Structure formats: structure tokens, C-alpha cells
Structure 1
Amino acid sequence: MNYRSPSQVAAEACRLAQNKVSLSIGQMLLLGILAGAYVAFAAWLYTVVTCDMTERFGMGFTKLVGSSAFTVGLMMVIIGGAELFTGNCIMPLGVMAGYCSVSQMLRNWIWVFVANYIGSALVAALMYATGLWEGTIGANAVKIAAGKMSLPFLQAFARGIACNWIVVLTVWMSMAAMDIISKIGIIFFPIMAFLASGFEHSIANMYFLTFANFIKGSQMAALAGVSQEELANVTWRGFFDNMIPVTLGNIVGGVLFVACFYFLVYRRELLSLSNETADPSSRKKEAKS
């Protein structure tokens, strides 16, 4: 059998959480920066691919093509072994099964989230320096960000939930694959689906919103074809107005609908496996008590 069964994936996800909390701060920062950069490169590719397609092919097909291009981001993250905050929302499965503590998980989440932004901002600065954004690409970048920053809190939160439900499920399914080609195939379709559907990914938005703030004062803003009211939202306050509900939604989507649900399904197997792999001294203490 060249794949893992769902119960085996659950056990693998717990071991993955255990490995993640054992990373040093330096490792989390470096791997987190890489993940943020990989997603940012994919977001840049999405912006380039979709910059002039809508008028020719319509919005639906444009989103389908752009989202297909974006999938390369999570492929680089998973196959490259980087640390992505949204993907790490699967870690509560390991917490509930006893493989790591809440404090250890939160330590990982905080450092990785910060590092993801550093990586995203670095790529945003790099793309700004290239000058490749001048013209329709830059206008598209401002238009994408303006739409995101104009979302009401509840809509951004709900789209964040839907997004990371799919993203963490993708991480889950990718662990079932035992070879690279299978992982690529598994990653492609659900990631394409979440972005084409218009859902909100906090790490991708780190790039989209930061880059738009870099270029908003240029002539690109005038070419974006959005209302002045929407353009007024392209600010650093608008950045946080989007990031807060989307990040919270991402946490709910990944933790509740993937980690918690699968823990409830495989609770007995996971707790039994956790007891078997526990430190012998811990088992002796438990026996005495």
C-alpha cells in the first residue's frame, strides 16, 4: 500500500505536531520566512496571470486559471518542509491526543505567524524593486487588495473559516501520499478550489495587502478601476481590519472542522497510541497514582 489510511494520517498528524513543537526559535523563524515567501511568490503569480484575463474570458475562468497557478505556493511549502501558520492549525490534533501542550503549540503559532509575515513582506519589497508591477499588474494588485480591505468583519471571518477548512484538509490529505507526484496532485485541486471560490487566506493576504500599500500612491491606483471609497481602505489600518477576522476565521476553520472532527473520529486509536509511545517514567508515575 503506497498511501496512509485516514487513521494512519491521524497518527502521522500527531507526530508532526510533536516534531513542530520541538523546533528551535531560529528554525521556526527560518522555515516560517520561507513559507511566507513561497506563498507570496504564488500570490504574485496569481496577480500576474489574472491581470488582463477578465475582460477576455470572464471572471469565473480567470479565477480558475489564477487559482491553478497559485497552488504552486502550498506545493513549495509542503514539499520544501517550510512552516506555514495556516497549515499548522492541524496541530491541536496532537494537543488533544497528548503529543504536545497548548503552550508549546501557541509558541509555534506565534513565531511562525511572525516569520510568515517577514517572508511575505520581503517578497513584496522584492517585487516592488523589480518594477515588473508597473502597468496592468500593479493595477490588478491594488484592485485585489482594495476588495479584501473593503470586506465587513463577518464576511472576512466566514471566508477565513471556509479557506482554512480546505487548506488544513489539504495538509491532512497530503500526509496520506507517500510520493511527491501524489502530493502534488492532492495539493492542486483543493487549493485551486479555495482561491477560485473567493475565500480568504491570512498568509496570502499578508503579501496582497502589504504590496498594495507599497504601490497605492502610484498611478496604479488610478488604473485599478475601483471606487474612491474602496481605494481609501488600502491603508495599514485596512491591513489589520482584514487580517484580524481572516486570521481568526482561519484558526476556527482549521482547528474545529479538521483537527477537532478527526480527533473525535479517531480518539481511541490516538489516545492508545499516545500511551504506548509515552515516556516509560511517565507511565510508572501514572501507574503509581
Structure 2
Amino acid sequence: MRKFLTPPEMTEAMLETAAAKCALPASRAFVLALLAGAYIGFAAHLATMVTTGSTEWVGVQRFLTGAVFSFGLMLAVIPGSELWTGNTMMIAGVADKRITAADMLRNWMIVYTGNLIGAVLLALLVVKGTGLTDGQFGATAIKIAYAKTAEPVYGIEHQYAYFFRGLLCNWLVCLAILIAMSAQDIGGKILGIFFPIMAFVASGFEHSVANMYFIPAGIFAKSFPAAVTASGLEPASLSVLGWGSMFTGNIIAVTLGNLAGGGLMVACAMLFAYGGKNRKQHVK
């Protein structure tokens, strides 16, 4: 008995999912988005803990960070939630006339906002509530956030860097979601999620919802003198790390890249290759 969907069946499932998402009541979509933001935040926190320490084996550390981060998407996909980066694939639903552009944009607005609030609230709970990040781990949170906001997005050396990091990231994330959608058992879903997510994190790509945790965690952690001292960064230089730079220095460019990666490189490509109800073009 076959335990997975074929690519044309996977494409049809993607289109049906887009319609189902648009049918969700706003309150339910928002709560599910809050949960997804928190789920990705849990994974980002764990990645922060794993990243702390010696960087002698950078490649191994990147692999381990990616490995533990993959459980965030497992939480978001398997129990069910609304994650904006995955919902970028709803573009195919508009192209196949399953949903309207207005319905898609309404979903995106609700889900993106919910993801942001859920991730920031988790960062606040972890950093301010647990006491786990007032020293060495807080220093790691600060360094991660500082690196994500201090590096110029549109500078000469890094022109459009975060856009393309976001594109490549969500290309892999949405493939992970489709593979999980294709699998008909829990083991297949876990394996389907693990490898693409491990690959995007280990490769250094950028996920907008993950950064909704990483950057606020660093902002909150810089209120701890011990964490700032352990980071090795000059306190004055941390003035660049704030809510404004979170968006202008990272989130906006990464979000646009995520949109292109999931919406164009995955959803539209799958629709073109395998067709839909209103586009009968199947690969033989």
C-alpha cells in the first residue's frame, strides 16, 4: 500500500489546503498563528542553547543547530497551526482560482501578525521569565540578534543578501511542508521535515518567523549586564540592536525573500509542472 502522495496529488493537496486556510474564521487563524510563532520560537531558543560554546567545529555545530531547529516545523505542521512562511504557497491557489487575492492577503495579515506576537511573547517569557539567558546563553542571544541587524542588508558587500537568504530558506521550508503533506504516517512526516530544515539552518539562510524570536530575544537579553559582558560586544555598539533595526535591518528583506522562495520557487513551480483543477497541465 502506497504511503505517500505523488507530485500531482501533492500539488492538489497544496491547492485544497489554500482554500481550507481561507475558510478559517479570523479568531481561529489568529490563535493558530500565535501557536506557530511560539513553536518556531521554541526551536529558535533550543538552537541558541546549542550554538553556545566553542566554535572550533563550526560545521558540526551548524549541523546540530539545524537538527534541533527542525523540531519547530514539526510542531507547527503535525499538531496543526498557521505559519506564514508556509502560507506563501497560497499564491498557487490564487493562480488556480481556488481562492481570491483578497482572501489570501487577509490570511497573510492575520497569520503574519499572529506569528510575530507569538514569537515575541515567547522570547519575553524565555529571556525575562526563566533566568536562563542572563549570562552565557544570553550573550549568545545578543550576538545572534546583533549579527542579524548590524550587517547591512543593502550595502555594497551585502546587496540583497538577506532577500536571497530568505528566498533560499523558504524554498527548503516549503519543500519540507510539501513532503510532510505527502507522507501518510508520522515517521514519514518527521523525516520529510528534518532534512530540508536542517539544510536551511546549517546553510545560514534566513527565516522571517525564526527571526521574530531571535532578534527580540537579543533585545531583551541586552538588559542583563552579565550577558552583555559575556558577549564581548561594546555596550555602545548595541544601540543598533532595537525594534526599528529588527525590521529595517532584517525582517522586511527576509520576509520578501521568504515570499519569493515559497510562492514562486515552490508553489508556482509545482502548479506549472503538475497543474491544478483549473490548469490541466500534467507531466507524463
TM-score (norm 2): 0.91
Q: Report the counterpart of residue 218 of structure 1 in structure 2.
A: 224
Q: Residues 230, 19 of structure 1: CA spacing in aligned structure 2 closer, same or farther, 3 A cutoff?
A: farther
Counterpart code for 1:68: A
Q: Report the counterpart of residue 286 of structure 1 in structure 2.
A: none
Higher CA-based Rg: 1
Q: Report the counterpart of residue 254 of structure 1 in structure 2.
A: 262
Tell whether the 8 Å contact from 2:166 to 2:261 is kept in structure 1 after alignment. yes
Counterpart code for 1:18: A
Measured after TM superposition, the shift of residue 24 of structure 1 is 0.7
Query: Is 1:232–2:231 an aligned residue pair?
Result: no
C-alpha separation in 2, matches of 1:41 and 1:246? 20
C-alpha separation in 1, matches of 2:236 and 2:100? 45
C-alpha separation in 2, matches of 1:103 and 1:87? 18
Q: Report the counterpart of residue 38 of structure 2 in structure 1.
A: 37
C-alpha separation in 2, matches of 1:272 and 1:164? 25
Tell whether the 8 Å contact from 1:147 to 1:230 is kept in structure 2 after alignment. no
Q: Residues 69, 230 of structure 1: CA spacing in aligned structure 2 closer, same or farther, 3 A cutoff?
A: farther
Measured after TM superposition, the shift of residue 14 of structure 1 is 0.4
Tell whether the 8 Å contact from 2:139 to 2:230 is kept in structure 1 after alignment. yes
Tell whether the 8 Å contact from 1:2 to 1:178 is kept in structure 2 after alignment. yes
Q: Report the counterpart of residue 88 of structure 2 in structure 1.
A: 89
Q: Report the counterpart of residue 113 of structure 1 in structure 2.
A: 112
C-alpha separation in 2, matches of 1:9 and 1:173? 8
Q: How many residue pairs get matched?
A: 270
TM-score (norm 1): 0.90
Secondary structure of 1:134's counterpart equals: coil
Query: Is 1:263–2:271 an aligned residue pair?
Result: yes
Measured after TM superposition, the shift of residue 66 of structure 1 is 1.2
C-alpha separation in 2, matches of 1:229 and 1:134? 19
Cα displacement string for residues 104-136 of structure 1 (whole angstroms, at most 9, x for unaligned residues): 011001100000011101111110211111221
Measured after TM superposition, the shift of residue 262 of structure 1 is 1.0
Percent of aligned positions that are identical:
41
C-alpha separation in 1, matches of 2:277 and 2:236? 51
Tell whether the 8 Å contact from 2:228 to 2:235 is kept in structure 1 after alignment. no
Secondary structure of 2:3's counterpart equals: coil
5+ long unaligned stretches in structure 1:
274-289
RMSD, aligned CA: 1.5
Q: Residues 68, 125 of structure 1: CA spacing in aligned structure 2 closer, same or farther, 3 A cutoff?
A: same
C-alpha separation in 2, matches of 1:205 and 1:15? 29
Q: Report the counterpart of residue 138 of structure 1 in structure 2.
A: 138
